[in-house]
A and B are shown apart, each in its own frame.
Chain A
Amino acid sequence: MEPEELTELALGAAVAAGAGYADARWVRQETESLTVTDDRVDDLEAEDSRGLGVRVLVDGHWGFAASAVLDPDRVRGLGRRAVEIARAAASLPGEPARLAPVEPAVASWSTPVGRDPFAVPLAERVELLLAACEAQRAVAGLTHARATVDLWRRRTLFWSSEGARLDQTVTQAGAGIEAVAVGDGDLQQRSWPNSFRGQFLAGGWEVVEAADLVGNAPRVAGEAVALLHAPELPERVTTVILDGQQLSLQVHESVGHPLELDRIFGTEAAYAGTSFVRPSDRGRLRYGSPAMSVTSDATTPGGLGTFGFDDEGVPAQRAPLVAGGTLEGFLTSRETATALGATSSGAMRADGWGNPPLIRMTNVNLEPGEGSLDELVADTADGLLLSVNRSWSIDDRRVNFQFGVEAAWEIRAGRLGRLYKNATYDGRTTEFWGSLDAVCGPEAWVVWGIPNCGKGQPFQNGRVSHGAAPGRFRDVHVGVRGA
């Protein structure tokens, strides 16, 4: 049967079994990940996964069933099973789930793609990554070079009992290099364009080409070797400039997650945690300084959180989360939005066919200020430039955080100086954002992809983005107390 017929079959079975509301998602996800280490292909994973998930609401209780086995009997059974699961959830009383209204859309949407990345011959991909490794290995003192390309394409059919009929195809690509230097019991790594397999964007092979892996390889490898011989960053309180890569993860952990309304309502309490933010904080909470404005924008070109409709069929939207330092909004679903008397912000996204949608970030962007990174450094009398994430951790209400970065450069009298290794900084969310006094301008603003955001039980992986330019924070604690 065609995917459309299977989706219709599952939806019909759910409604016939008693679902008050139902949606069915057929998803095909293609993945190709290539890893080259030094002079050989270390791994190539090519995966093709198709399946169907049915989500139902029965008397205010949710049920979800999904399978990769797509024969018609099995697909009909999914609808009935989802209803059975929802009915079992009535074992405990509670406020029934209600859905904020949405206009059922009938539409198609696709990521704009320059060159289809899956059509790029494997030999071309391998050649690029071998060249990127070779260019790193030409640097004396380097121990290992790694280069990666990851491609994803996901087609989703979303059918709802309210009449939505959506067909979306999202294509995403990423590429990166990692230079590793080992010696004297130490290991240092420098990455480009970002750590954890590079930069990821929606789009085609042009994303990979824009990373210019070969061109950046000598510099990156040289920095890895230099880090091996660099001193440890001493503990102190100082001014820090976070580069865009690191600032994007700072936004992710300390702004994006705390503003997910399911976390605020406690439905992620046992696993990912909750939030220090309360629903009543909207319009009142000073989240940060006037230099801080953060927007949720599922229309950002190239973002991993860019789509036509979320996995509840809600259209992509752009809305402020923090404006001039004041909390203005949340990331919401159709269910959670009802508690605010609002409509959904369109942030429900599922990891493939096998999971129900959760509230996820889309593209949560720190709006740009003005000026270049060079100008910001020149304007800083004493401090540090912290570059590219190495480690992240934050408490279960998103207050206390600690990040590690790959490299730290001293700033003295407006100029970059000595390189330090093993740099960390820590703080508390609103105090930290309150110390933001400058964000660089549009010319330094980049949409950074984060392809590994974990949440939910069963565990779901989300791919989101954050537009960010380098930003400066005052009075930040760097280094580890008691180390």
Chain B
Amino acid sequence: MSRLGERLLGVAEAAIGAEGADDAEALVIREAGGLTRFASSRIHQSTWREDVAVRLRLVLDGNRVGTATVHDLQPAAVASAARRAAEVARTMPPDPGYPGMPGPADYAVTERWDEATAATDPATRAGLVAGAVRRLPAGVTAAGACETRELEVAVANLRGVRALGASTAASFSILADAGSGTGWAEGAEPCLADLDVAALGERAARKAVDAREPRELSPGAYPVVLEPAAVATLVQFLGWLGFGAKAYDEGRSFLVGRLGQRVCSPLVTIVDDALAADTIGVGFDFEGVPKRRVTLIEEGVAASLVYDYRAARRHGVEPTGHGLPAPSAEGAYPMHLAMLPGDTPQQELVAGMERGLLVTRFHYTNLVNLMETTITGMTRDGTFWVEDGQVRGAVRNLRFTQSILGALSAVRAVGAHTELASEDGYGAARAPALAIDRFNFSSATTF
């Protein structure tokens, strides 16, 4: 199926007229993409899929809200979903806090679409994988994935919202295995042509070779340089732990009692910016509200929350365009987080460290204490000991248990270069490398 564009908006417009609702909204999404997976330097899994979804939100009797989703664009299926949404609405208790729905808006960004990325065939993806694998040095094998995706989103409601956006995304990840050491690199871009697959492969292979024969290191608190992928994990966890106004209102945000206060180093500024030229996704949220750039932490001070339409009405502010499909138990969510870069070249971060660890990325990170922003996870695929500003070999992987704000309070320098990480088609996080004076490693593993 080729790009649907206006047809999606047509489906949405037709759907909101059904069932005679007081308020009605249709969110129509089409996603498609291919992924080529490899392991042991062999392609072992290649997939392609396309999905379409129509989510209807109907309001009856002024404030009884019902939703229903169907994965089918055919009029009969959409009409059936509308009947189901109306049936749900009739059954639901009234929602005294129902805020209404947003009205029409202008959208600064609606397209990040690259036709060549959308049209990528499996042979192209396989060719990129094969090229990267063939360039590996002797004795090194690789695993990873090459993915190309396309996303189209349309929102229409009875208040006049008509939003239509499209985005493409491409990513390449590679784990190189040199026997007793592994290395990893990943890149993500809106356009496949902008991915430097060869460079990613070389970086992963170099790390794997350097990571061989790791030595044991006692757990403890060490200075660290975290590469961008590891920093992106910290930033994304912060996003999950409570920048949304609903979480804040319910007291389940680490920002409760901290807004306007210093929470970390003045070297740290974190924004959510879907309008940046170098990110992925469309320019409006799932309610059709234009996404705005929001500074969440400004030079170390907790600056602001993000708001969906409901929370914005409650707080008497403008929604920031961070709504999930409404109604949502989670509330608003920042999907385009970015830590702003500093002015220190990444290699100088390491050069400036007397003794400490260089960390490539984290694995299986999870929350330990929400209010303290404490998380735990493992290092993997390249953890190195640094002495006198020089990498002095690899160490076995370590478990960290560390407050994110604690780590960000101990930032010594911020890298000048950022990388896009963890894209999922709808959003991504961009982060620089960080030099941190103290990072707690609580236990160690055997490799």
Contact = CB atoms under 8 A, between A and B. Distances in A.
Interface stretch (A17-25, A67-75, A407-415): A67-75
3 nearest A-B residue pairs (beta carbon): A94-B42, A400-B445, A88-B122
Given A64-B47, A93-B42, A267-B44, A402 B445 contact: no
A395 B72 CA distance: 40
A34 B93 CA distance: 13
Contacts of A62: 44-46
A123 B39 CA distance: 50
A122 B93 contact: no
Given A66-B47, A88-B122, A143-B250, 8 more contacts: A41-B327, A65-B48, A68-B50, A68-B71, A94-B40, A402-B399, A458-B35, A482-B221
A64 B48 contact: yes
B52 interface: yes
A325 interface: no
A3 to B, nearest CB: 13
Contact of B47 (A186, A356, A399): A356
Contacts of B92: 41, 44, 122, 126
Interface stretch (B349-357, B367-375, B428-436): B367-375
B401 A402 contact: yes
Interface of B is mostly: strand
Contacts of A146: 329
Contacts of A144: 250-252
A95 interface: yes
Contact of A393 (B39, B88, B365): B365
A269 interface: yes
A123 B123 contact: no
B312 to A, nearest CB: 17
A402 B380 contact: no
30 contacts: A41-B93, A41-B327, A44-B66, A46-B67, A46-B69, A46-B84, A61-B46, A64-B45, A64-B49, A68-B71, A69-B1, A88-B36, A88-B126, A91-B130, A92-B130, A126-B92, A182-B251, A185-B371, A267-B37, A270-B174, A271-B145, A355-B47, A395-B363, A396-B378, A399-B445, A400-B397, A402-B401, A424-B376, A426-B442, A426-B443
Most chain B CB neighbours (cut-off 10 Å) among A53, A92, A483: A92
Contacts of A85: 34, 46-48, 122
Nearest to A33: B329
B376 A402 contact: yes
A273 B43 contact: no
A257 B221 CA distance: 30
Contacts of A209: none
B49 A426 contact: no
A483 B65 CA distance: 46
B48 A91 contact: no
A65 B73 CA distance: 19
Most buried by B among A51, A392, A393, A458: A393
Interface string B353-391: 000000000011111111100001110100000000000
How many of chain B's residues touch chain A, expressed as a range? 35 or more
Given A45-B67, A395-B378, A396-B363, A94 B41 contact: yes
B269 interface: no
B173 A396 contact: no
Contact of A270 (B43, B88, B184): B184
B162 interface: no
B72 A68 contact: yes
B289 interface: no
Given A66-B48, A144-B251, A43 B121 contact: no
A88 B46 contact: yes
A36 B246 CA distance: 15
A354 B35 CA distance: 12
Contact of A269 (B33, B39, B66): B39
A180 B369 CA distance: 14
B395 to A, nearest CB: 14
A76 interface: no
A71 to B, nearest CB: 9
Interface of A: 35, 37, 40-51, 53, 61-70, 74, 81-82, 84-86, 88-95, 97, 121-123, 126, 130, 143-144, 146, 180, 182, 185-187, 265-271, 273, 276, 354-356, 391-397, 399-400, 402, 404, 422, 424, 426, 428, 457-458, 477, 480-483
A428 B368 contact: no
Contacts, number: 281
Interface in B1-52: 1, 33-52
Contact of A482 (B129, B257, B442): B442
A396 B380 contact: yes
B67 A400 contact: no
A74 B377 CA distance: 44
A413 to B, nearest CB: 30
B290 to A, nearest CB: 24
A42 B327 contact: yes
Interface in B46-92: 46-53, 66-73, 81, 84-85, 88, 91-92
B47 A92 contact: no
Contacts of A267: 37, 39-40, 44-45, 143
A266 B371 CA distance: 37
Nearest to A70: B72
B343 interface: no
B442 A69 contact: no
B36 A67 contact: no
Contacts of B173: 270-271
B380 A395 contact: yes
Given A68-B52, A85-B46, A44 B36 contact: no
Contacts of A483: 401, 440, 442
Contacts of A91: 43, 123, 126-127, 129-130
Nearest to A55: B47
A404 B442 CA distance: 14
B95 A41 contact: yes
B329 A393 contact: no
A404 B72 CA distance: 41
A349 to B, nearest CB: 15
B275 interface: no
Contacts of B38: 92
B401 A480 contact: yes
B91 A69 contact: no
B91 A393 contact: no
A367 B193 CA distance: 53
Interface string B126-137: 110110010000
B251 A187 contact: yes
A385 B51 CA distance: 46
B305 interface: no
Nearest to B133: A92
Given A85-B47, A185-B371, A48 B70 contact: yes
Contact of B378 (A122, A182, A393, A457): A393
A402 B366 CA distance: 10
A406 B216 CA distance: 32
Given A267-B39, A393-B364, A89 B250 contact: no
**Residue of A69, A88, A182, A399 contacting most chain B CB atoms (<10 Å):** A88
Given A66-B48, A85-B46, A91-B129, A37 B329 contact: yes
B144 interface: yes
